[in-house]
Structure 1
Amino acid sequence: MAIKKMSVTQLTMLTAINMLGSGIILLPTKLAQVGNISIVSWVITAVGSMALAWAFACCGTMSNKLGGMGGYAEYAFGKAGNYIANYTYGVAIVIGNVAISITAVGYIIGLFNINPNPLQIGLMTIGLLWLTTFANFGGASITGKIGGVTVWGVIAPVVVVSTVGWFWFKPEIYAAGWNPHNSTLLDAAGSSVAITLWAFLGLESACANSDAVDNPKKNVPIAVLFGTLGSAVIYIVSTNVIGGIIPNAELASSNAPFGLVFATMFTPMVGNIITGLMIIACIGSLLGWQFTTAQVFKSSAEVGYFVRIFAKCNKSGTPIAGMLILLGIQTILGWFSIPASPDGTRYGWIHHVATGNLGVSDQFSTVVDLSVVTNLIPYILSMAALVTIQEINRVLSHKALLNNAIAGVGAAYSYFALVNSGDKALMYGGVATILGFTLFGAVSARFVKGEQLVHPDRVITGEEDVPAIPYRDK
C-alpha cells in the first residue's frame, strides 16, 4: 500500500508555520526603536532569506550525508566542517532558547502589569528555561502535541493584525514614526538586520521533510521558496501595520506589542487575551526547541562529535542527562543577559554583555545578536559547500551556475548580517566558534587517525628529522 505524501501546497504551509513561531513576538518593539524605516531591513532580509532557503533546498535534495547543515559542510570542509557546523548550530539554538524565554517574560510583565527589577527578570527567564526542560522529560510525543496547538497563539494574532489591522491604520502615525533618529537607509538596515534575521531562523529545517513530499527534487525548492516568501510578507505587513496604529515612542517601550495593539484595536480585555495566548505560544515554542536542542546534541554525540553523555537516553528515548547539561549552560546565559539596574549597578558578570539600558528589550537584543552570529556560521559553510555538492552530483553547468549565484547572494547577506550584529556579539560569537575548534581536537582522532597513521615499523627517536611515512592499506 502506497504511503500518502504531502502536496507541495501542504509542505509550503508547513514551512511557513515553522518560521512563524515566537520570533516575531517582540519584533515590533525592537523595530520601533529604529523606526518604520526598518522596512528596508525587512526587504533585504527577505531577499537574503529566500536565497538561503533556495540553496538549502538544493543541498537537501542532493546531499547523501546525514546531519543536515553539518552533512552539507562536510562535502567541502571534511569532518571538521561537519563538526563546526553542528557545534555552532547547537550553540545558536541554546542561546536562542534564552531569547524565547525572555520574550515570554516580557509578555508576562505586560499581562500582569508588573514592574520587576532586573534580577527578578533574570530569575523569571531562568525559571521558564527550567520549567520547559523538565516538561520535556515525558518524551517527544507530548512535546509535539503541545507545540502543534500552542503555535497558533502566535500565528492567529499575527494574521489578524496583517488583515483586519488596516482598519485602524493611520498614515500620520506611521509617518511620524518613520525615522525618529534621522538614520540613513544603510544605517537603519544595518541596525535592524539581526533582529529581522532572527525571525527567519529555522528556514533551513524545511528540507527535513523532503521524504514526506511527492517529487521532492521539484517540490521542496518550491515549498521552501514560497514558504519563506509567505512568511516575509506576513512579517513585513504585520510589523508595519502596528507601526501605523501605535505611536512610535509607545511601541518602542512596550514589553508586549501585540497585546498593546489588540487593546488599541478592540478593548484592554482583548489585549490581555492575546497577550495570554502569546505567552502560552512562547512557552510551547520553548518546550519544542528545548527538545530539538537536546536532539541536535544527541545526534552529534552518537556519531562522535560531542561527548557521549549527550547520547544517553532513558527508556522513553529522552536524553535527560544532555538536557540537564544544556539547562545548566542556558541558566548561565540567562544570568549573563540580565540588564542593568536603575542605579547603574549590575548583577553578576552582566557588565560583560549588557549595553547599559534597563529592561527586557535590552536583554532580548543581547541574546538575539549572539544567537544570530553563531547561527550564521553553518549557513555560510553550507552556501560554500553547494559548489562541491553540485560537482559531485554532476549538475548541468547552467543550472549549477544559477544555484551557486543564488547561494552567493545568501552568503553575501549572511556576511552583511554578521558585520551588523554588533561588536560584542561578534566577539563572543567568535570566541565560541574558536572554542569549538579547540573542543574538536579532543575528538578528532577518532575521525582522522586512519588517514594519518605513520608506518607501524617506524620508530621516532627524536634524533632525526625525517618526514613521517604515511601508512597505506593494501
Structure 2
Amino acid sequence: MSEPKKMSVGQLTMLTAVNMLGSGIVMLPSKLAEVGAISILSWLVTATGSLALAYAFARCGMLSRKTGGMGGYAEYTFGKGGNYITNYTYGVSLLIANVAISITAVGYIQVLLGVELNSLQVGLATIGLLWLTTFANFGGARITGKIGALTVWGVIAPVVFISTVGWFWFDKSVYAAGWNPHDKTLFEAAGASVAITLWAFLGLESACANTDAVENPERNVPIAVLGGTLGAAVIYIVSTNVIAGIVDNPELASSTAPFGLAFAKMFNPMVGNVVMGLMVLACVGSLLGWQFTIAQVFKSSADTGYFMPIFAKANKAGTPIVGMLVLLAAQTALGFLTISPDLSKQFDTLVNLAVVTNLVPYILSMAALMTMQKVSNVPPRQALMTNIVAWTAAAYSYLALYSSGEQALMLGGVATIFGYTLFGFVNNRLIRLEALNNSVPTQTVSARHLEGEPVPVNNLDLRLEARP
C-alpha cells in the first residue's frame, strides 16, 4: 500500500496563512484607528515578534518528543507543573477569545440590521450566540468543521480584496489626517497597539501541527511557518492601512463594523451589507470551530490527568458535552462580568485578557526551547542562533504583556495563580496515576531511549513498560 501524498512547502505555507487569517482581523481597523495610522509601527513590532515566535515554535515541534503541544514543550524545563499551567492558561485564553469573537459578530449584526442595542442587550446577544454555537457542536465536529472551513472565506475574501483592489479608493489626504490624531510619540505609538495586533496572530503556534504531513519537515516546516506568518502580516498591515485611507479616522474609530463601512464607501451600502453578512457568518463559523476546539483541549488534558475528570467525559460521538456545558457556564459568566456601555471597550477588555493568558504558554515554551536543544544535542552554534530567536520572541511577549494594560495584567495574573490552586487537586490525581503505573513490572532502561530518543533532563523516565 502506497503512502499518502504529503504536502509541499508551498501548500503548507498557504495553509498556515489561511489558518491565521480568521476572525481576529474583523475589528482591527477600528481599534487601530483609535491610535491612528501611526499604529503601523505596532504592526512592524508585532510582525517581527510573531516571526520570532513562529520560528521558535517550528523548532519546538521538530525537537519535542512529548505529546500535548505547548504543554509538552514546557514540561522539558518546568516539569509536570509547567505542562499543566501551560495547558490551563492556553485553555483560559481560548475561552476568553470565544467571548471576544462572539462580541465581534454582535457588533457587525447591529450595523447589518440597523439596530442599536444597549449594554445588557449586547451582553445577552453575545451569550446567546455562545449558547447557539455550543449546542450546535453536540453532534460532533465533522459538520461544524466543514462549516468553519467554508465560512472563513467570508473574512479572507474581503480582506484580500481590499488589500489589492482597495488602493483605487485610497486617499492620501484622508490617511494623512488620521496619521497621529492624538499626537503620540513614536515610542508610544509603537507600543500602543501591540496587544491588539498580536490578537490577530494568536494561533500561530498551531501552524506546527502538520509536521508529519509535509515533505522534508526539518527544512520545510520552519519555511512554511515563517512564510505563512509573513504572508498574514503583509495582508494585515496592508488591509488596515488601506482602510485608514478610505474612511475618515473619527468615523472609522467609532465603527463596530469597519470592513462593511469601508466597502460601503467604496461601492454602496448594499455591498457593505453583503460584506458584513459574510463576516458575521465567518465569525459564527469560527466560533463553532473554537467551541469544539476548546472542549477538546480540556478533554485531552483531562485524559492525561492534568485537568479534572469531568472534562474527559464524552458521548458516543466523542463529544465532551459535560465539559462543553461547564465551559459555556464560564463563558456566560464572563459575558455578564465584562458588560460595558461601549461594545468596543468590552471587546478591548476581553482581547487584552486573552492576550495576557495566551502569552504565559508562549513564554514558557520559549524558555523550554533551550532545554530541548540541549537534550537533543543540537550543535552549539545552531543552538545559539535558535536561542537568540527565542529570546527575541520572549522579549516581544513581555512587551505585549506590558502593552495589555494594568487591568488585563492583574486579572490575567489572578487567573494564572488560581490555576496553581486548582493544580493542588489535579496533582493528587497525577500521583494516583503514577502509583498505578508503578505497579506495572518495569526494568531500568526505557525502550524509547534504547531506540535513540533523547532523555529529558527533568522528570527522568528510566522505566521500560512491560510488553506482552
TM-score (norm. length: structure 1): 0.91
Q: Counterpart amino acid of 1:373?
A: V
Runs of 4+ in 1 over 2 A off after TM superposition: 445-452
Counterpart CA distance in 2 for 1:308 and 1:203 is: 29
> Structure 1 residues 168, 450: closer, same or farther in 2, change over 3 A?
closer
The answer to whether the 8 Å contact 1:338/1:363 transfers is yes
Listed one character per residue, the Cα deviations across residues 320-376 of structure 1 (whole Å, up to 9, x for unaligned) are 000000000000001111113xxxxxxxxxxxxxxxxxx221110010000000000
Q: Counterpart amino acid of 2:334?
A: L
Q: Counterpart amino acid of 2:96?
A: I
The answer to whether the 8 Å contact 1:26/1:103 transfers is yes
Residue equivalent to 2:59: 58
**Residue 451 of structure 1: how far off its partner (Å):** 9.2
**Residue 113 of structure 1: how far off its partner (Å):** 1.4
Counterpart CA distance in 1 for 2:281 and 2:19 is: 17
**Residue 449 of structure 1: how far off its partner (Å):** 7.4
Give the unaligned 5+ runs of structure 1.
341-358, 453-471
Asked if 1:198 corresponds to 2:181, the answer is: no
**Residue 445 of structure 1: how far off its partner (Å):** 3.2
Residue of 355, 363, 373 corresponding to 2:346: 363
Q: Counterpart amino acid of 2:403?
A: N
Counterpart CA distance in 2 for 1:311 and 1:217 is: 34
Residue equivalent to 2:356: 373
Residue equivalent to 1:386: 369
**Residue 436 of structure 1: how far off its partner (Å):** 0.5
Residue equivalent to 2:443: none
The answer to whether the 8 Å contact 1:310/1:321 transfers is yes
Residue equivalent to 2:405: 422
Residue equivalent to 2:396: 413
Asked if 1:137 corresponds to 2:173, the answer is: no
**Residue 450 of structure 1: how far off its partner (Å):** 9.5
The answer to whether the 8 Å contact 1:46/1:232 transfers is yes
Asked if 1:118 corresponds to 2:119, the answer is: yes
Counterpart CA distance in 2 for 1:311 and 1:446 is: 13
Residue equivalent to 1:96: 97
Q: Counterpart amino acid of 1:128?
A: L
Listed one character per residue, the Cα deviations across residues 144-189 of structure 1 (whole Å, up to 9, x for unaligned) are 1001100000000000000000000011100000000001112122
Aligned pairs (5 A) from 1:146-161: 146-161=147-162
> Structure 1 residues 327, 449: closer, same or farther in 2, change over 3 A?
closer
Q: Counterpart amino acid of 1:132?
A: T
CA RMSD of aligned residues (A): 1.4
Residue equivalent to 1:441: 424
Residue equivalent to 1:36: 37
Residue equivalent to 2:384: 401
**Residue 190 of structure 1: how far off its partner (Å):** 1.9
Give the unaligned 5+ runs of structure 2.
436-461, 464-468
Counterpart CA distance in 2 for 1:182 and 1:107 is: 30
Counterpart CA distance in 1 for 2:167 and 2:403 is: 32
Aligned pairs (5 A) from 1:235-246: 235-246=236-247
Counterpart CA distance in 2 for 1:130 and 1:189 is: 38
Counterpart CA distance in 2 for 1:439 and 1:185 is: 43
Counterpart CA distance in 2 for 1:387 and 1:448 is: 28
Residue equivalent to 1:469: none
Counterpart CA distance in 1 for 2:428 and 2:122 is: 44
SS in 1 for 2:137: helix
Asked if 1:431 corresponds to 2:432, the answer is: no
Listed one character per residue, the Cα deviations across residues 16-48 of structure 1 (whole Å, up to 9, x for unaligned) are 111100000000000000100100000000000
> Structure 1 residues 164, 219: closer, same or farther in 2, change over 3 A?
same
The answer to whether the 8 Å contact 1:90/1:296 transfers is yes
Aligned pairs (5 A) from 1:61-460: 61-340=62-341, 359-447=342-430
The answer to whether the 8 Å contact 1:63/1:72 transfers is yes
* Count of equivalent residues: 436
Q: Counterpart amino acid of 2:302?
A: A
SS in 2 for 1:206: helix
Counterpart CA distance in 2 for 1:167 and 1:138 is: 46
Counterpart CA distance in 2 for 1:232 and 1:222 is: 15
**Residue 448 of structure 1: how far off its partner (Å):** 5.2
**Residue 447 of structure 1: how far off its partner (Å):** 3.7
The answer to whether the 8 Å contact 1:339/1:360 transfers is yes
The answer to whether the 8 Å contact 1:79/1:447 transfers is no
Q: Counterpart amino acid of 1:415?
A: Y
TM-score (norm. length: structure 2): 0.92
SS in 2 for 1:441: helix
